[in-house]
Structure 1
């Protein structure tokens, strides 16, 4: 017999198995003395809207019946070593999941990654943090697993129309993620566990006969009229395939320049730009959980989501939190020397004493009239210019410009800055001089509004660290809504965040799978 139950519990009741099990059995009307009884949670979400935090739990109770495994996915991939091959440019979530789906469909993927494998990336990340040296091919954005490898590892998405979220989760569990991600309403993996998981995904590709090429930068597309036949690498090697999935991420500016130079249709795209805001995690916990001292041993580090509308010169734009990292760190995410970019990441336990979030302002193309001369690269060139300005204000190193929050709203340079998780260090400046005025003024209005919506949030015990500019791609590579193929270049499948069709690990992974399916149906299995 199997029973489904729903409970609203205290954090201790929900997260302590010893306490939860008898409560669940009582709710199901099952005697705890029975020997052949099994209880498991299937869904868990936190409700912190009231004075006391509650946890909503869905669970299954099995009596005299063996529970079915939570994991339905089995990665018994066929060997595709000698099959037709497709090219996948980029080994981020979109590229890796496109490769695995190609293998399932009996096609050999060749994954081409400009950066290093996860182990090799570590030395380059250390060089950014400690020596302020940016390797343009290996950094927090480029390398195996893409930007997602060194991130919070959030696994929730609103892009449910694009594919099977549960399937993506199960593939991640099959490659090393904990089954908890199948239960939590807002699951995450953590930057300390993502590298090993990414390496396992690569191993599945290799064992099935696929190829993964590291330190291999695509410098040209091989075109025959309006059809793509392959790519050229930086060492002159040419790789041919039945089609090309372009999954290069939102920071591969050289690819956007290459597409534009070859007259391959691309478009400027709105994005968002702002700063990272860092509070103490304890302060965010107190605000969100209504606790006086700390959140206790059962509740996870609290997060927040804020959104507002601000006016500037008669135009309304959104101001919103982005990629909030509870218990996390701020990291240097530049991809070239001479620029400064910050991003956030969290370990699996989210046990840092800091909380950080992007706080950004929507940038529309009409906000950038002086950049229109760059055509489809207009937003990208604006983005790059702001990053270069941040680098200059930081002292022309990876030291980041920063300002306390109330000081920013009052346009006053901070006399001192707070402790920070950002390893390269901070330099006190007026962030209004770093950010364009239409960004800084809207951000100032937004922060004042957030101080009313989330009391205690607006404080000089928090600081702005800039700039957060890689929120999404400033360029869209267009594709047909049904076929996913580029409208002009046959065999080219723009994919994931870099092409403007995803916004995180899960949505990028789903988009990668769909692109592989569409390409293979059209050019391999037709």
Structure 2
């Protein structure tokens, strides 16, 4: 017999099998000896009361053996099968490639950037020297933006596809089993490169291709159908299906589509700052303690407020994290955040952004939101003074509209400069943040403090452009065989949702073929 129940466990007993068995037996009113096995399905921290606990959803096997199930998708050799070109080696592109293989098609993945190992040198140059390689950076390269910006796997995309399938594939390629059960699964920037490399090796072993330093610069079209792509301005690659999974920062791809009269649309996005606190402040607020228990992970938070019908919200919260310089063009400032797997840095940071609506930016140009975004990033660079030094302000100074005399120690490696952030943010964004932050402080004790630093600008929360596609076929309405995919097309927001969309696009290609 099997039963699914929920139990509560103290943090110090989370890995104590004897205590869990005893708790399960008591909850089911049976003897511990009758429990032949149990599987934890989900676990989450409940910090609503002063005593913090873990809630475990558990499948209990009573007087019967647990089934020995193992996730093992088949990857046949597709070296001689029909090719599918996949533009971009982020989560959408890589998972589309794996699904193409399962569907008996040969993926050819074209990535403008470098492999994960080679990317490290360019990231070191960004962090230490403020030098941006426009083809290899935090956003461009194998694994996409998620590889070196945390690997958070939390998603609400359950209706779009099988979230567990994505998590199982990560585990199959080296991620810890914990991601299958954690309420907010997380891999860590230090672990993801090896996992991404393993996924690439699976693709290559099955006869697929993954090519680096290969930038798609044009499309080959005939009578409203895709026939292939042009790479690096000269080489032609032919295929009847192209999955476009370029991520939310590939502005040149949006410009190319627009120049070729392939429909793109302006899309709302969000803009703001990255806010960093000492992790101890967040721990104290969330766990109701002076010092966090060694049995609890660094605490996170999620905050949202409406300011005159405009949403202000935190996202991509990085406990024990680091603020990273994520510009993809020279003389622009873009910040993001990441955490190592242990989340053991002394700071906690989160994007804190304001909703930008289409009516906020005048005109009819489908690229106007993108251009608006770029202009703000350029202003931030100028305000910082160069070399990716970021403009920054203490939190209360920002709200009370005064220049910070000094700035607290922080994790942003290129450095910060005291500046009036309202000089780079649109006025409605500044005023929305100005009103929301004290309200956040009322929701979370200790949040509203001058020990917190605001670093500008957080501008790549999502794509400012949508590449439309038909609901059933996943193809562009004007170009048969062109499959806009994931974050860069405006249909996903995060690693897991992008991976799901890649899988869905690969399945759509199979129907098309």
Whole-angstrom distance in 2 between the partners of 1:49 and 1:197: 35
Whole-angstrom distance in 1 between the partners of 2:396 and 2:32: 56
Find the residue that maps to 1:221 and give its secondary structure.
Answer: strand
Residues 493-519 of structure 1 deviation map (CA, whole Å, 9 limit, x = unaligned): 000000000000110000001111112
Using the TM superposition, give the Cα deviation of residue 412 of structure 1 relative to its aligned residue in structure 2, in angstroms.
0.7
Find the residue that maps to 1:324 and give its secondary structure.
Answer: strand
The answer on 1:442 being equivalent to 2:432 is: yes
2:197 corresponds in structure 1 to 199
Question: CA contact under 8 A between 1:273 and 1:468: conserved in structure 2?
Answer: yes
Whole-angstrom distance in 2 between the partners of 1:62 and 1:152: 36
Question: CA contact under 8 A between 1:14 and 1:57: conserved in structure 2?
Answer: no
Residues 217-242 of structure 1 deviation map (CA, whole Å, 9 limit, x = unaligned): 01001111311111001151111112
Using the TM superposition, give the Cα deviation of residue 332 of structure 1 relative to its aligned residue in structure 2, in angstroms.
0.4
Whole-angstrom distance in 2 between the partners of 1:468 and 1:87: 32
Whole-angstrom distance in 2 between the partners of 1:163 and 1:177: 20
2:406 corresponds in structure 1 to 416
1:42 corresponds in structure 2 to 41
TM (norm. structure 2) is: 0.97
2:357 corresponds in structure 1 to 364
The worse-fitting range, judged by mean Cα deviation, of 174-183 and 21-30 is 21-30
Find the residue that maps to 1:146 and give its secondary structure.
Answer: coil
Using the TM superposition, give the Cα deviation of residue 487 of structure 1 relative to its aligned residue in structure 2, in angstroms.
0.6
1:386 corresponds in structure 2 to 376
2:274 counterpart (266, 273, 276): 276
Whole-angstrom distance in 1 between the partners of 2:410 and 2:20: 38
Whole-angstrom distance in 1 between the partners of 2:6 and 2:312: 36
Whole-angstrom distance in 2 between the partners of 1:60 and 1:281: 35
Find the residue that maps to 2:366 and give its secondary structure.
Answer: helix
1:117 corresponds in structure 2 to 115
Using the TM superposition, give the Cα deviation of residue 449 of structure 1 relative to its aligned residue in structure 2, in angstroms.
1.5
Residues matched between the structures, number: 513
Using the TM superposition, give the Cα deviation of residue 6 of structure 1 relative to its aligned residue in structure 2, in angstroms.
1.8
Using the TM superposition, give the Cα deviation of residue 211 of structure 1 relative to its aligned residue in structure 2, in angstroms.
0.4
Find the residue that maps to 1:149 and give its secondary structure.
Answer: coil
Using the TM superposition, give the Cα deviation of residue 3 of structure 1 relative to its aligned residue in structure 2, in angstroms.
4.1
Question: CA contact under 8 A between 1:24 and 1:39: conserved in structure 2?
Answer: no
Question: CA contact under 8 A between 1:72 and 1:170: conserved in structure 2?
Answer: no
Whole-angstrom distance in 2 between the partners of 1:127 and 1:265: 37
2:340 counterpart (320, 343, 347): 347
Residues 298-354 of structure 1 deviation map (CA, whole Å, 9 limit, x = unaligned): 11111111111113xxxx311110111111111000001110100011111111111
2:74 corresponds in structure 1 to 76
1:63-212 mapped onto 2 (5 Å cutoff): 65-69=64-68, 72-212=70-210
Find the residue that maps to 1:347 and give its secondary structure.
Answer: coil
Residues 48-85 of structure 1 deviation map (CA, whole Å, 9 limit, x = unaligned): 1122212211223345644234x642133100000001
1:14 corresponds in structure 2 to 14
Whole-angstrom distance in 2 between the partners of 1:167 and 1:519: 19
Provide the alpha-carbon RMSD of the alignment.
1.5
Residues 403-432 of structure 1 deviation map (CA, whole Å, 9 limit, x = unaligned): 000000001111111111111111010111
Instruction: In structure 2, list runs of 5 or more residues that go unmatched.
Output: none
Find the residue that maps to 2:214 and give its secondary structure.
Answer: coil
Find the residue that maps to 2:402 and give its secondary structure.
Answer: coil
Question: CA contact under 8 A between 2:7 and 2:23: conserved in structure 1?
Answer: no
Residues 282 and 16 of structure 1: is their aligned pair in 2 closer, same or farther, counting only changes over 3 Å? farther
2:302 corresponds in structure 1 to 305
Find the residue that maps to 1:356 and give its secondary structure.
Answer: strand
2:464 corresponds in structure 1 to 474
Whole-angstrom distance in 1 between the partners of 2:271 and 2:70: 40
Residues 166-216 of structure 1 deviation map (CA, whole Å, 9 limit, x = unaligned): 111111111111111111111111111111111111111100000001010
Find the residue that maps to 1:96 and give its secondary structure.
Answer: helix
Question: CA contact under 8 A between 1:15 and 1:298: conserved in structure 2?
Answer: no
Residues 92-115 of structure 1 deviation map (CA, whole Å, 9 limit, x = unaligned): 010001111010000000000000
Residues 278-312 of structure 1 deviation map (CA, whole Å, 9 limit, x = unaligned): 00111001101111x2221111111111111113x
Whole-angstrom distance in 1 between the partners of 2:61 and 2:445: 45
Whole-angstrom distance in 1 between the partners of 2:461 and 2:67: 40
Using the TM superposition, give the Cα deviation of residue 33 of structure 1 relative to its aligned residue in structure 2, in angstroms.
6.0
Question: CA contact under 8 A between 2:129 and 2:387: conserved in structure 1?
Answer: no
TM (norm. structure 1) is: 0.95
Residues 377-409 of structure 1 deviation map (CA, whole Å, 9 limit, x = unaligned): 000000000000111111121111100000000
1:511 corresponds in structure 2 to 501
Question: CA contact under 8 A between 2:217 and 2:233: conserved in structure 1?
Answer: no
Whole-angstrom distance in 1 between the partners of 2:61 and 2:428: 59
1:521 corresponds in structure 2 to 511
1:480-491 mapped onto 2 (5 Å cutoff): 480-491=470-481
Using the TM superposition, give the Cα deviation of residue 28 of structure 1 relative to its aligned residue in structure 2, in angstroms.
4.2
Whole-angstrom distance in 2 between the partners of 1:6 and 1:405: 40
Instruction: In structure 1, list runs of 5 or more residues that go unmatched.
Output: none
1:462 corresponds in structure 2 to 452
Find the residue that maps to 2:152 and give its secondary structure.
Answer: coil
1:285 corresponds in structure 2 to 283
